[in-house]
């Protein structure tokens, strides 16, 4: 009697097939991940492009660059929030940063109106509609243009943000950190706000410190293509925040409360990138760059959230892209800046008038090879 042959795989054949599939997947996954990251980096670049055009549009309508903090009005608490009828929060000043200023220029006019019209509050008395610090979720919605898809989120806070603006000089040449109220040196603060040292400066006079001068495109003597406007920062704070704290303490400068991070002195750090008075060659009497966090992608970008104690050193470009960050220049163009650039190059990219600025070596002029 003839035996029938049974179709199928032997155990050895099955294991060989599984092994081959595993090897093929191991070879394919890196290529897939590289393609996905390239797409995320392109999206990030497009976000910066859109925001830079929003800044340029704001400049065209206001004849000035946006401010890193300014007043957008005051909610007087005379009526409930039209978007949240069950909420009538206390009266408060409506302070916001550069992102708020450009909302109307990046197709976010309804959100901008919540900030610009006095009948809308920033805060809410409805716990079910509140985010951290008492802000209404309608005030600070999640906007894709403010998020790099490669960046992790440190928390589920409302208004997530991945981008920062050029807020320039962090401290005076003596490297004194500005104390809360009043700052250590009002004169030093005014120097840090000059047209030679920054693009996005203070727009709100409070606690005895002055607002910065109006900065225009034609004030950028070093060339629009050589001056950074915007960049990424993994540790940037939510786009609507101007200080750490809760409720009215950091929204109302007239109540004279002691705030953890008072504006306008410290607001530059939450959504800004700054340069410090350091130089590896010791120019101008500056010390060598000691804190690695000052450098692009410096420090622990993944597991160190920004707070009141470290905000000054974390206010620099960082990203989850390999080897550098996407940036937008003052002419609206975008480029990729490597994390290995010398700190002098970084300082030169942030100063609109390098030779008139307070950097340690103002005579330095960067070239394309330096970046």
Q: Where are the domains of the chain?
A: 22-370
Report the distance separating Cα 303 and Cα 312, nearest Å: 17
Q: Cα separation of 165 and 200, whole Å?
A: 7
Least confident residue range of 27-31, 151-155, 176-180, 221-225: 176-180
> What would the two tokens of residue 329 be?
């220049």
Q: What is the dihedral of CA 101, 212, 178, 55, to 10 degrees?
A: 30
Contact indicator for 69, 204 with CB cutoff of 8 Å = yes
CB atoms within 10 A of CB 206: 21
Say how far apart CA 297 and CA 317 lie, in whole Å: 6
C-alpha 245/C-alpha 262 separation (Å) is 9
Banded model confidence at residue 185, pLDDT cuts 50, 70, 90: low
The string of pLDDT tens digits covering residues 206-248 is 767 788 999 999 999 999 999 999 999 999 999 998 887 644 4
CA distances from 240 to 98, 139, 158 (A): 9, 8, 9
Strand partners, 366: none
Pairwise CA distance, residues 75 & 139, whole Å: 13
Residue 285: what pLDDT?
Answer: 83
Reported confidence tier of residue 346, pLDDT bands at 50, 70, 90? very high
How far apart CA 36 and CA 320 sit, in angstroms, is 13
Quickly tell me which residue has 């599939």 as its tokens.
21
Q: What is the mean pLDDT of the chain?
A: 83
Pick from 216, 185, 177: nearest CA to 199: 216
Label residue 184 exposed, middle or buried (CB < 10 Å: 0-12, 13-18, 19+).
middle
- Give the distance from CA 203 to its chain's centroid: 17
Question: Percentage of residues in the chain with pLDDT exceeding 90?
Answer: 46
The one-character DSSP state at 227 is: S
Q: What confidence tens digit (pLDDT) does each residue in 148-163 have?
A: 999 876 555 789 999 9
Whole-structure pTM value? 0.85
Give the containing element (helix H, strand E) for 113. helix 109-116
Nearest to 221 by CA among 346, 59, 352: 352
Contact 81, 89 (CB under 8 A): yes
70 in Cβ contact with 112 (< 8 Å) = no
Instruction: Dump pLDDT digits (tens) for 248-271.
Output: 444 444 444 333 345 677 889 989
Helices assigned H by DSSP within the chain: 11-62, 98-102, 109-116, 186-192, 311-314, 343-350
Residues sharing a CB contact under 8 Å with residue 186, sequence separation 6 or more, in sequence order = 208, 209, 210
pLDDT over 70 (residue 132) = yes
Q: How far apart are CA 203 and CA 329, in angstroms?
A: 22
Give the integer Cα–Cα distance in Å for 205 and 220.
24
């Amino acid at each position: 009697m003839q035996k029938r042959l049974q179709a199928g795989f032997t155990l050895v054949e099955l294991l060989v097939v599984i092994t081959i599939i595993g090897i093929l997947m191991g070879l394919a996954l890196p290529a897939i991940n590289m393609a996905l990251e390239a797409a995320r980096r392109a999206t990030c670049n497009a976000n910066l492009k859109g925001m830079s055009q929003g800044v340029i549009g704001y400049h065209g309508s206001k004849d000035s660059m946006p401010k890193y903090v300014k007043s957008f009005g005051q909610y007087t608490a005379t009526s409930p929030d039209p978007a949240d009828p069950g909420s009538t929060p206390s009266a408060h000043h409506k302070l916001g940063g550069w992102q708020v200023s450009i909302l109307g220029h990046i197709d976010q006019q309804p959100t901008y109106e919540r900030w610009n019209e006095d009948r809308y509050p920033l805060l809410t008395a409805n716990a079910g509609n509140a985010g951290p610090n008492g802000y209404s979720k309608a005030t600070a919605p999640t906007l894709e243009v403010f998020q790099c898809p490669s960046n992790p989120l440190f928390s589920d806070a409302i208004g997530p943000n991945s981008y920062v603006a050029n807020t320039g000089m962090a401290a005076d040449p003596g490297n004194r950190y500005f104390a809360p109220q009043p700052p250590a040196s009002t004169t030093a603060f005014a120097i840090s706000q000059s047209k030679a040292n920054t693009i996005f400066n203070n727009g709100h006079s409070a606690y005895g410190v002055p607002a910065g001068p109006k900065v225009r495109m034609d004030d950028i003597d070093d060339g629009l293509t050589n001056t950074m406007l915007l960049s990424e920062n993994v540790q940037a704070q939510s786009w609507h925040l101007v200080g750490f704290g809760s409720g009215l303490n950091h929204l109302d400068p007239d109540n004279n409360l002691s705030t953890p991070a008072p504006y306008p002195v410290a607001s530059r750090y939450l959504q800004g990138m700054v340069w410090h008075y350091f130089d590896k060659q010791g120019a101008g009497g500056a010390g060598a760059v000691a804190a690695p966090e000052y450098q692009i992608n410096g420090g622990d970008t993944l597991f160190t959230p920004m707070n009141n104690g470290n905000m000054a050193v974390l206010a620099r470009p960082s990203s989850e892209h390999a080897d550098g960050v996407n940036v937008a220049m003052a002419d609206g163009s975008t480029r990729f800046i490597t994390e290995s650039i010398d700190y002098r190059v970084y300082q030169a990219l942030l100063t609109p008038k390098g030779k008139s600025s307070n950097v340690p070596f103002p005579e330095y002029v960067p070239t394309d090879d330096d970046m």
